[in-house]
Structures are given as structure tokens and as C-alpha cells.
Amino acid sequence: MTQPRPHTPAADGLPFMKMHGLGNDFVVLDSRGQPARTTPALARALGDRHRGVGFDQLAEIRDGDGSDICLDFWNSDGTRAGACGNATRCVAAHVMGETGADTLSIRTARGLLQAATVDGVTWVNMGPPQLSWDEVPLAREMEVTALPLAGDPVAVGMGNPHCVFLVEDAEAVPVTETGPKIEHDPLFPERCNVEFAEARARDEIRMRVWERGTGVTLACGSGACATLVACVLRDATDRRVRMELDGGWLSLDWREDGVWMGGPTSLVFSATLSPAFLAEVEA
């Protein structure tokens, strides 16, 4: 399809923002007041770091639905992600900056999430963990703390599936070798994100991640939440920790109402996709 869409005259292209949280990087489309734009083909084309823009996830803001905004997430392989903690924080910081409010409600595939700015830091409640086999989901009925996998990992749903390994030394883990094997293990019918967590103290965790549909990233917010939950279930840490990821530090707090996560966010630039690029994607 080469016809320009009515709400974006060809001459204007498609505006987007590039953001990151701890180096977990995002292209953000703001489709409030207009039809959603993302297709699997657009996500793949934009996610190409050589011929597109490059991102770990694409996030698309839409008009609120009983919430301030709605947010959809895509991986660079064109698949959807039900949750993305770092992009949620980045978009929340941006929208709260626009309105001057210090709280925001965000509807995602996972449900309604709350964000808040406290002392200049953006926090998001990623919701309560999903700890039954069919919520994660796993292939068949079992305890999420008793998976038939070497290394005795814990499965945790945070709106997307995670498999968390508690390890002695996170630096020594061959993430690019083990990550994809676990991502595609038949135990996870929707594949999974894979985390390797070293509990350094009751209040500190080191974590490295392999993301479903993306690969190694510098950070993963929903993965950080899943990691905290796994460490608490194994009694390796308390419910409130600092976590070091490859891209920096997050604060996490598993409260009654869900897992809260706070940390830095950054808007890198705003730019416009050329009509020629869009026409190529749509061709």
C-alpha cells in the first residue's frame, strides 16, 4: 500500500521518540487522537538497527480507555509483548512531564497500571506476579517453583512469561547460549524471557537477561520484577531491593498491590520517519 494515510500527510512522515531506561531502548509512537499505526512489518523494519532506527521494544501510546493512556508493546522480531516495565516508566515520565501530574494510569495488555513520580524518580506498579502455571503460562499443571529444568529456575508471569535462575555468579553465566534454549523450551508455550539472578545481599541482586523476541538487553523492567519475586519465593532476599542490571540500577519493592519499580528514564531525541521509509514498509 503506497497511499498515504489521511492523518499523516506523506510530506510529514511519522513522528516518533527514541527513549531508554538503563539502556533498554525504545521507539515510541504517540498515536493519541489517531488510529494505531504499528503492524508486525513496521515493528520489524523500525527495529532493524541498520536499515531502521533500532530498539529493544516499540511502544505505541493510544488514547486512554478508562485510564489516562493505553500502551502497546512490540519486540523487534515483530511479536507483541504483554508488558514492558522500562518503556512504561519512560512513557509515564514523558506524559507526566507534559501534564505536570505526578501520577498516571496506563492500560496495557496486562491490565491497568499506576505510575507515580516520587522525588524526581518515575515508579510503575507492574502489578501482582502471576504464580499459577496457566497464568505464566506453562505447558501443563505444575508449581512455578518446581519446574522440570536443570538449574531449578522459577517461572513468574508479569503480564509476560519469565524464567528466573538463581545463580552463584551472574557474570559467569553464558547468557547467549542458555537464554535462547530456555526461551524456546516446550515448557513455555508462549516462549519466555530468561533472567539470571545473583542475590548479593538480602537487599541487593545482580541480574542479567535474555529477552524473548529480542535477545540480550542492557535491562528488562518486567524481568527485574520477576527476578525479585523469584528471589523472595526462594527466600534469597527481602521484598525491597536494589538491582544491578548491565545498564544500571533499579529499585524494586514487592508490596501488597504489586511489584513497584523505580529508576532513571531518558528521552534521547524526537524525529520523523520519512514517507519513503514508510512506503517501503507498506509495499
Task: Identify the residue whose cell numbers are 520484577.
Answer: 225
**Active-site residue flag, 70:** no
Beta bridge pairs of residue 250: 243
Q: Quick one: 16 or 74, whose CB is closer to ligand API? A: 74
Least separation in angstroms between residue 33's CB and ligand API is: 26
* CB-based contact 193:210 (threshold 8 Å): yes
Cα atoms in the 13 Å half-sphere on the side-chain side of 246: 16
Q: Quick one: 58 or 147, whose CB is closer to ligand API? A: 58
Interaction between residue 75 and ligand API (CB under 6 A) = yes
Least separation in angstroms between residue 94's CB and ligand API is: 15
Among 38, 76, 108, 160, binds ligand API (CB under 6 A): 160
| Residue 57 assigned ligand-binding role | yes
For the CA atoms of 168, 169, 172, 177, the dihedral, rounded to the nearest 10 degrees, stands at 60
Q: Which of 70, 220, 225, 231 is catalytic?
A: 220
Q: Quick one: 16 or 188, whose CB is closer to ligand API? A: 188
Q: Which of 84, 90, 192, 231 is catalytic?
A: 84
Cα atoms in the 13 Å half-sphere on the side-chain side of 49: 7
Q: Quick one: 17 or 278, whose CB is closer to ligand API? A: 17
**Active-site residue flag, 84:** yes
Q: CB under 6 A: which stretch of 9-17, 112-120, 214-222, 245-253 binds ligand API?
A: 214-222
Beta bridge pairs of residue 254: 259
CA distance readout (Å), 179 to 1, 67, 114, 212: 38, 35, 30, 9
Q: CB under 6 A: which stretch of 12-20, 80-88, 135-143, 227-235 binds ligand API?
A: 80-88
Interaction between residue 127 and ligand API (CB under 6 A) = no
Interaction between residue 213 and ligand API (CB under 6 A) = yes
Exposure string over 145-181, b if 16+ CB within 10 A, otherwise e: eebeeeeebbbbbbbbbbbbbbbeebeebebeebbbe
For the CA atoms of 105, 24, 48, 82, the dihedral, rounded to the nearest 10 degrees, stands at -40
Among 76, 122, 193, 265, binds ligand API (CB under 6 A): 193
Among 86, 125, 130, 237, binds ligand API (CB under 6 A): 86
CA–CA gap between residue 30 and residue 267 (Å, rounded): 14
Interaction between residue 263 and ligand API (CB under 6 A) = no
CA–CA gap between residue 234 and residue 196 (Å, rounded): 14
Binding residues: 24, 57, 75, 85-86, 160, 193, 211-212, 221-222
State the residues that interact with ligand API by CB under 6 A.
Answer: 24, 56-57, 75, 81, 83-86, 160, 193, 211-214, 217, 220-222
Q: Which residues are annotated as a binding site for substrate?
A: 24, 57, 75, 85-86, 160, 193, 211-212, 221-222
